[in-house]
Amino acid sequence: MLISQKERIEELLSEAQAESKDTENEISTQEAKVASLNNDIDSKKKEIEKMEIDIPDFSKASQYKSATFKYADLKSSRDVENNKLGMLRQKQEHLKYNVRSLNNYLAKCTNKECILSSLNSLTNVYNGFGDDYGNIAYLCALVHYSLLDNGQLESFVSWSKQNGINKITDPDDLSKDASSNLIAMFDQIHQAKKNEIFISMQFGDSQSELIFEKIVRSIELFNFKHKDISLRATPIRIDRKVEASTSSIPKAIREAIKSCGLIIADLSSANINVYHEIGYAMGVAESNNMIPNIILLYKENTDHNKDSKDVDKFVGFNLRNLSQLRFREYDQLVEGLVKRLEKHYGV
pLDDT band at 176 (very low <50, low <70, confident <90, very high): very low
pLDDT at 160 over 50: yes
Alpha-helical (H) ranges within 109-162 are 112-121, 123-127, 136-148, 150-162
Chain mean pLDDT for the chain = 83
- Fold held by 195-345: Rossmann fold (3.40.50)
Q: What is the pLDDT of residue 128?
A: 81
- In 3D space, the residue among 337, 326, 276, 217 whose CA is nearest the CA of residue 209 turns out to be 217
In whole angstroms, what is the distance from residue 156 CA to residue 161 CA?
Answer: 8
How high is the pLDDT of residue 204?
77
Distance from C-alpha of 313 to C-alpha of 270, rounded to nearest angstrom: 11
pLDDT in tens, 189-202: 666 667 788 999 98
pLDDT at position 218 is 92
* Lowest mean pLDDT, pick from 70-74, 92-96, 339-343: 92-96
Closest of 272, 277, 302, 278 to residue 211, by C-alpha: 302
pLDDT at 96 over 80: yes
Residues 6+ positions from 138 with CB-CB distance below 8 Å = 160, 165, 166, 168, 174, 179, 182
**150 has a pLDDT exceeding 90:** no
Least confident of 186-190, 198-202, 319-323: 319-323
Q: What is the pLDDT of residues 283-302, one digit of tens each?
A: 888 776 666 789 999 998 88
CA–CA distance, 279 with 292 (Å, rounded to integer): 10
